[in-house]
Structure 1
């Protein structure tokens, strides 16, 4: 979370222009509010605040209108450290609660359950202040239009904001209404993407120029972009990998490898238990913010698996395998889905579960402590009060360490395994951080792709089996009346799925079809796409709306990448692939229209639109279908999938198929490989080497 200054300029602008003290429901708590009936771990964390919190609902807004009150909307998530801090400092204070309950209708939102509300009001805060973070605290009119927005507040700051807004609303509501209308108009403007009458002719030079603009923001020492805090952007690195290979851009390749290596050597990677933390609080990937998110780890499994197929760095393979092991151990539900997040805090201390005391490490590792501290660096975070906690970062790559210490790579690997096993066992004796046990459709879809990419990179059937099992779980539990639901938890109030759920799951199904050759996954991808077309198509822009039906103050159209890819960009990729697989030119035309509308955005700021840049690569450079037909199609497809072949999609059938892409390609008792572009195929061949030459 980024802490921002209060927007007191709001007050200058407008000037110049609980609980109802509920009786305890049981002896353990003095207060209990309506959140007690929710299933979200984040909302339940606030169920015993003295503030009269309730979940977002039409009824809550109607109550505000009838009582002529402003509405406090406080948005966060269960693993958010500063959300916990503000709760303890402010929302458990009975004096603050008394003021909030008397003068406001108070709503708590779990951003992971309602990313639409989070996106809407995050846009508002960014318009007001220039940036945002969590907790996200906005004050809105009963009609939903925001009049104030900020992030973390001290108790004194929050009390002052409440008093000033309440006074202003009572004395001169028209001024607040005028300001709210201007912010609402700004939100609508950010969600308007102008359609292009003609399909843009993209060029290699234009794409190259956009990457060169981006290069000026690269951190050439630590990797990533030049930032005080470092977030891993997997989709950006994924694009740059392909760009470097297709263009033979050595500078980009060097930046990608440098970034990948620095990430896995830093403290943002958990060297003991596996898996990645959400972001680093410094520019060097060293000191993490200790929450672990499913979407982070799912995407990084894909990224490092892909990187391994190209660069063959054994550390990349190790990281993928350790991350999968971590997810299986700590984030998999008994039913088979994967949980949303693991908290940063343990027993009230951020990162306490993961950090070590040097004396404890000496005691635990005994004679191995010396070798351990040669291979790893023990960093002390600057803000650690006691200066005794350390974060483990990797000081050497394996080859250099082995040479300098006269041991083999095999011996070093054995040592690392021993250290990790010993320390992980000891760490598991501590009080574990809380887990947010929502099973989010879109994030699990990203993990399906992660498992498939690991399967392709390492040819390990176990990973494909995990992808298949997870897709079955989502089909069984994360659907309702033929529609997707955004998250699943036993007994929860099912929130209808958002565009990201449909887009990411469609993408995963296409990959499952390619990996298994089972047409049921292609059928599901087509069905999901039909639902998106019927219920998410925007009437004004060439894009898709974020929600099926929106009662919010503005339609939401998400086109930029954040910590997960733009769902519209993913849909554009899906349309291209489904157009190829179904021989449907309407799909590919729609994909081109979406990309054309994004042309200016991508060229000016590739960093935030890299999933669209990846689609430009698919458009500018030849995109091939590798179609394999015959009894050996399965085994040959596996070989192609294990290779790094950018701008390709691999499909196959062991039997005669009615699918358009296989039409007139089946010859009994023979297996042929067809290299095609938009349905136009070269002469069929029977060896992989010959097909690769055609590529």
Structure 2
């Protein structure tokens, strides 16, 4: 039986339950603690042993008497009249691990937390809605925020003091000061701060009944100009300190270029992707990308690898390859997908959440980046005859920026013999497999899987690799089987069970993934399932303000709303995009109305600070102007158009029962099919009725390939689709080639 944690009296029935839950985990289970008894067994166990979240389980053997977030926990704090200490983090967070080892696995700290507080652990990846509230509180109070997020709460959940990582001595002093304030004359001051902070958070929420606004047509140029002001002209990216991929900015800029030809937007996207692909943020040996770098030249990563980064950088590289034809980008995207399929995929095809920044070094010590870095002699031994060239090409002969060794990176301004390099990198990857791998967070998150499903499906179309769509469909089937109950979606799959109500982002990201699968030829079923998710989201998260809430359940202050597009798109931005793209694939006006209503409700805040909502701006453009990618569905949903081979081939896929038509050339209402900006050679008469220049053209239930000889930077397609009963309105769509 485990020891009782310090400074508490544990109910015997609870103690028995916890011991039984611990025993049920079996011999393969390895408690994460340095507090061991004489037989090498963990001394303590707490309520987190009952949870499925890998992050919570990492703390299940701390001497801290942790609770999971729940209404019962808030009620206990109220009954005992104690403040709550809330620690928010995630399983692959380096500084979360540091604070755990320094403080939460320390008996002195545990005694104070257990005596004077109700200590609560929260996995931000399990409850993104609550994380949004408490990270906002820290940002408002401290001017910055991050994880671990350390928040002191009133028993009703209102925060009154916030911070992030605290070294142990500072943390002990803080616990003592807060306990004294709570028990002494400063209790009223604590109450006052909690009220003020709650009001500040509430002021950021939308007002019910606010009139919908409209986006200014100039807003897209405004955002491009703001990004140009932030742009690091020397190194790429949008920072001069730490560098995050900022995929939302890059995707916005590529959309801006495709629609307007804005050369500044294109250059910022190109320079940023060049830097990301060349830098140490790119895991050159194993494929994939780390979360961010601690320097501005992209060389020294913070080594955790998140599924959402693989998906979003992968998408950006696919679109960037179509924009520029840069083979280095296609190679990086394909190696990223290879990494996910090899190392981040569960037996049924769904995708794991992340890999840790930390791993064990050769001496068995936990160290950030130990799995990834190289000492020059280690690398040379793995590389053999090509060692000198490879060490130079990968920068492994340069002074390391990480104490444990050098990080492989390329010079973005130098050409690389990738055929030679890839053979070298495979030697490094195989040699690296002999090291202790970082801990993998094996929970499956619905929305993050949706992001990866979308990236794989889009890559399958762009690269002509249908097997990538097959992998995406396999993951989608696993998600649908595990997490959809016919009416609502669950957020997580962990320990062989579905956990927690899905957030808005889960519905939106998975819906967009399903749309991409449908577009990639995986079947009508995925379009139908995307619509089901969109219907459910519109029903579950609607608010009188016209906006969509992050979660069905309210937080401590009422409904919770996304504040911005950040490391991932906000759920509302992606929901607007989902509604808008569904409107292009359906003749149901409800999708246009839903997208317009949501974008109108967001427009006021977007207009004020547009840089915070690049994904919402892209969604607004999809609704107003249609899609801009080289692969797009045209309004009405019966024609898919794909521009291939740098504009030398156009494919038109026409739905069964529909055809292109050009009736009497004298009928101005019947425009038929026309192409400008390129000389066009339509297929022979067995696919089309002869000609198209001023003569009738009919294409029935076919995929038509039109050979082009581009004459301009923009090729414009104008056509009309008809069935045997109705003709849709004529549409015009333009493809920017260079």
TM-score, normalised to structure 1, is: 0.86
**Further displaced range: 587-596 or 301-310:** 587-596
- Which residues of structure 1 form unaligned runs of 5+? 1-17, 402-411, 658-664, 675-679
Matches of 1:643 and 1:438 in 2, distance apart?
39
Matches of 1:383 and 1:673 in 2, distance apart?
54
Q: Which whole-Å deviations, capped at 9, do the CAs of 1:308-366 have from their partners, x for residues lacking one?
A: 11111011111111111111111111122111010011120100000000111222223
Bigger proportion of residues as helix: 1
For 1:613-632, list aligned pairs within 5 A: 613-618=617-622, 621=625, 626=633
Cα distance change, pair 206–90 in 1 and its aligned pair in 2 (3 A): closer
Please name the residue that 1:365 is paired with. Answer: 383
Q: 1:302 pairs with 315, 324, 329, which one?
A: 315
2:503 pairs with 1:498: yes
Q: 1:683 pairs with 707, 713, 720, which one?
A: 720
2:458 pairs with 1:458: no
Q: CA deviation at 1:640?
A: 1.2
The answer to whether the 8 Å contact 1:278/1:293 transfers is yes
For 1:462-541, list aligned pairs within 5 A: 462-480=467-485, 482-492=487-497, 494-516=499-521, 518-539=523-544, 541=545
Q: CA deviation at 1:114?
A: 1.4
2:166 pairs with 1:176: no
The answer to whether the 8 Å contact 1:629/1:655 transfers is no
Cα distance change, pair 100–261 in 1 and its aligned pair in 2 (3 A): same
Please name the residue that 2:302 is paired with. Answer: 289
Matches of 1:670 and 1:146 in 2, distance apart?
60
The answer to whether the 8 Å contact 1:139/1:149 transfers is yes
- Which residues of structure 2 form unaligned runs of 5+? 24-38, 361-365, 660-672, 674-696, 706-716, 724-729
Matches of 1:34 and 1:365 in 2, distance apart?
49
Matches of 2:380 and 2:54 in 1, distance apart?
37
For 1:548-563, list aligned pairs within 5 A: 548-563=552-567
2:190 pairs with 1:190: no
Cα distance change, pair 672–683 in 1 and its aligned pair in 2 (3 A): farther
Q: 2:96 pairs with 83, 90, 95, which one?
A: 83
The answer to whether the 8 Å contact 1:626/1:649 transfers is no
For 1:39-54, list aligned pairs within 5 A: 39-54=52-67
Cα distance change, pair 139–381 in 1 and its aligned pair in 2 (3 A): farther
2:262 pairs with 1:249: yes
For 1:39-78, list aligned pairs within 5 A: 39-78=52-91
Q: Which whole-Å deviations, capped at 9, do the CAs of 1:625-651 have from their partners, x for residues lacking one?
A: 756999xx9xx95x7175799xx9987
Q: CA deviation at 1:683?
A: 3.5
Q: Which whole-Å deviations, capped at 9, do the CAs of 1:473-512 have from their partners, x for residues lacking one?
A: 1101122463111110134562010000011112122222
Cα distance change, pair 358–196 in 1 and its aligned pair in 2 (3 A): same
Please name the residue that 2:712 is paired with. Answer: none
Matches of 2:478 and 2:270 in 1, distance apart?
35
SS at match of 2:409: strand
Cα distance change, pair 554–692 in 1 and its aligned pair in 2 (3 A): closer
SS at match of 2:295: coil
Q: 1:322 pairs with 335, 351, 360, which one?
A: 335
Please name the residue that 1:376 is paired with. Answer: 394
For 1:98-497, list aligned pairs within 5 A: 98-172=111-185, 173-192=187-206, 197=211, 200=214, 202-203=216-217, 205-347=218-360, 348-378=366-396, 384-385=402-403, 389-395=405-411, 400-401=415-416, 412-480=417-485, 482-492=487-497, 494-497=499-502
Q: CA deviation at 1:176?
A: 1.5
Q: CA deviation at 1:530?
A: 1.8
Cα distance change, pair 258–368 in 1 and its aligned pair in 2 (3 A): same
CA RMSD of aligned residues (A): 3.3
Please name the residue that 1:407 is paired with. Answer: none
The answer to whether the 8 Å contact 1:336/1:470 transfers is yes
Higher relative contact order, structure no. (Cα contacts within 8 Å, ≥ 6 residues apart): 1
SS at match of 2:500: coil
Matches of 1:135 and 1:193 in 2, distance apart?
31
The answer to whether the 8 Å contact 1:500/1:546 transfers is yes
Cα distance change, pair 390–65 in 1 and its aligned pair in 2 (3 A): same
For 1:576-591, list aligned pairs within 5 A: 576-591=580-595
SS at match of 2:395: strand
Q: Which whole-Å deviations, capped at 9, do the CAs of 1:190-243 have from their partners, x for residues lacking one?
A: 12267663652632x342133212311111111111241111121211110111
The answer to whether the 8 Å contact 1:301/1:320 transfers is yes
Matches of 2:418 and 2:447 in 1, distance apart?
35
